[in-house]
C-alpha cells in the first residue's frame, strides 16, 4: 500500500510506525516518554485498540487523546483506568510480572542489546552527562520482552558501551537467566534504518529487516561492530496512509495548546 505520502516519510516516522506494528493487540505495555510513547499510542489508535499502556508515573490504562510531553502529564491520569503511587507501579506491576512489553530508548546499544542512558565518556569526567537510568534497568529486566527504539549511527551502535545502564543479553547467552531476570530481553530493536533481532543462539543483534531506500552497506557503516545480516532479510512495508495520517495527527497534538 505505498502512497503519495511515502516519499515524505521521515526516518523518525518510519521508526515509529514499525515500532507500533511490533505491538500486538491486548498487550500490557510499560512505556517511556518520547518515541516509545508515540509508537505505543499509534498502535493503540490503529491496529491494537485493546493495548494497555502503563507509564512510570503510576497511570494504568492511559488512553491519551493528545501525546504527553512528560511521563506524568495530567492527560495520562485523566484517561487512566487507575492511578497508583510510584512505588506501587514498580513493585506490584512491573516487578510483579504484569508487563508484557517494555518500550525503551537509549543513547547507546551494543551487539548484545545492552543499553546506555547514563554517560558518554568517563563516568566521573563525562563528555556528555545523559539523564540516567530512570525506569529502564528494571523494565529491561522484568518486562516479558523489550522493544528498543534507537537511531542507528556509529555513536549509538557501539562496540563497547561507555556505561551499562540496562541489561539486554549481558556479555553472553544465559546471562539473563544467571542474573535472575524473568523477561526475555530485547526481542526487537527498531532503528531508522531497519530492524534487528537477536540471533537465537548467540543473541547477537542481527539485521533482519531494512527500510525502503536503505542499503545494507549504509546499515553496516552506521554500526560500530561488524554487523550480521540475516539471510532472510526482508524490506519493511512502507507506512500506510492510515498509519501516517494517525501518526501525524498524534504528533501535532504535542505542539497544540491544551
Partner 1 sequence: MAELLALDEAVAELVHDGDSVALEGFTHLIPFAAGHEIVRQRRRDLTLIRMTPDLIYDQMIGAGCASKLIFSWGGNPGVGSLHRLRDAVEHDWPVPLELEEHSHAGMAARYAAGASNLPFGTLRGYVGTELLEHSEETVAAIDCPFTGETVTAVRALRPDVGIVHAQRADREGNVQIWGIVGVQKEIVLASKRSVVTVEEVVDELEPRPGAIVLPTWAVGAVAEAPRGAQPSYAHGYYDRDNGFYQRWDEISRDRDSFQEWMAEHVLTSAGVA
State the catalytic residues: 56
- Neighbour order of strands in the sheet with 52-55: 82-83, 59-60, 52-55, 28-31, 101-104, 145-149, 186-190, 194-198, 205-210, 228-235
* Residue 137 binding partner 1, by CB under 8 A: yes
Question: Given CA atoms 225, 231, 232, 236 in this order, what sign does their dihedral have?
Answer: positive
* Residue 120 binding partner 1, by CB under 8 A: no
Beta bridge partners of 155: none
The minimum distance between CB 231 and partner 1, in angstroms, equals 31
- Pick from 1, 24, 49, 132 the residue near partner 1 by CB under 8 A: 132
Binding-residue pattern over the window 149 to 188 for partner 1, x denoting contact by CB under 8 A: --------------xxxxx--x----x---xxx-------
Cα 103–chain centre separation: 4
Q: In the complex with partner 1, which residue's Cβ is closer, 87 or 226? A: 87
Q: In the complex with partner 1, which residue's Cβ is closer, 83 or 233? A: 83
* Residue 213 binding partner 1, by CB under 8 A: no
DSSP H or E segment with residue 212: none
Residue 29: name the closest of 18, 13, 40 by CA. 40
* Residue 15 binding partner 1, by CB under 8 A: no
Q: Is-contact 167 104, C-beta < 8 A? A: no
Q: In the complex with partner 1, which residue's Cβ is closer, 172 or 234? A: 172
Using CB under 8 A, which residues numbered 30 to 59 contact partner 1?
33-34, 52, 56-59
CA atoms of 58 and 111, how far apart (whole Å): 32
How is residue 2 written as a grid cell? 505505498
- Pick from 3, 95, 156, 202 the residue near partner 1 by CB under 8 A: 95
Q: For partner 1, how many residues bind (rule: CB under 8 A)?
A: 63
* Residue 61 binding partner 1, by CB under 8 A: yes
Q: In the complex with partner 1, which residue's Cβ is closer, 21 or 176? A: 176
CA atoms of 61 and 223, how far apart (whole Å): 36
Residues 6+ apart with CB under 8 A from 26: 48, 50, 51, 52
CA atoms of 28 and 144, how far apart (whole Å): 10
Neighbours of 56 (CB within 10 A): 21
Q: In the complex with partner 1, which residue's Cβ is closer, 55 or 157? A: 55
* Residue 5 binding partner 1, by CB under 8 A: no
Q: Tell me which stretch binds partner 1 (CB under 8 A): 3-11, 68-76, 204-212, 230-238.
A: 68-76
| Residues in contact with partner 1 by the rule CB under 8 A | 26, 28, 33-34, 52, 56-61, 68-74, 76-77, 81-83, 85-87, 90-92, 94-98, 118, 123, 125-138, 141-142, 163-167, 170, 175, 179-181, 258
Amino acid at each position: 500500500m505505498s502512497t503519495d505520502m511515502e516519499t515524505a516519510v521521515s526516518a523518525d516516522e518510519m521508526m515509529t510506525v514499525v515500532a507500533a506494528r511490533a505491538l500486538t493487540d491486548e498487550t500490557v505495555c510499560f512505556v517511556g516518554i518520547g518515541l516509545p510513547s508515540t509508537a505505543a499510542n499509534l498502535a493503540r489508535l490503529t491496529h491494537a485498540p485493546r493495548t494497555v499502556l502503563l507509564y512510570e508515573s503510576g497511570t494504568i490504562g492511559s488512553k491519551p487523546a493528545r501525546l504527553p510531553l512528560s511521563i506524568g502529564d495530567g492527560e495520562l491520569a485523566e484517561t487512566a483506568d487507575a492511578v497508583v503511587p510510584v512505588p506501587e507501579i514498580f513493585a506490584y506491576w512491573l516487578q510483579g510480572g504484569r508487563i508484557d512489553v517494555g518500550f525503551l530508548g537509549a543513547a547507546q546499544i551494543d551487539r548484545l542489546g545492552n543499553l546506555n542512558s547514563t554517560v558518554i565518556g568517563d563516568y566521573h569526567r563525562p563528555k556528555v552527562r545523559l539523564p540516567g537510568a530512570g525506569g529502564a534497568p528494571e523494565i529491561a529486566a522484568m518486562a516479558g520482552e523489550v522493544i528498543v527504539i534507537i537511531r542507528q549511527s556509529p555513536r549509538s551502535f557501539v562496540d563497547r558501551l561507555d556505561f551499562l545502564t540496562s541489561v539486554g543479553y549481558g556479555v553472553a547467552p544465559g546471562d539473563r537467566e544467571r542474573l535472575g531476570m524473568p523477561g526475555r530481553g530485547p526481542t526487537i530493536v527498531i532503528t531508522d534504518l531497519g530492524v534487528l533481532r537477536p540471533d537465537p543462539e548467540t543473541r547477537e543483534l542481527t539485521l533482519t529487516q531494512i527500510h525502503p531506500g536503505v542499503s545494507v552497506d549504509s546499515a553496516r557503516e552506521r554500526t560500530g561492530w561488524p554487523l550480521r545480516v540475516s539471510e532472510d532479510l526482508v524490506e519493511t512495508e512502507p507506512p500506510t496512509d492510515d498509519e501516517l495520517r494517525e501518526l501525524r495527527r498524534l504528533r501535532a497534538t504535542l505542539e497544540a495548546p491544551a
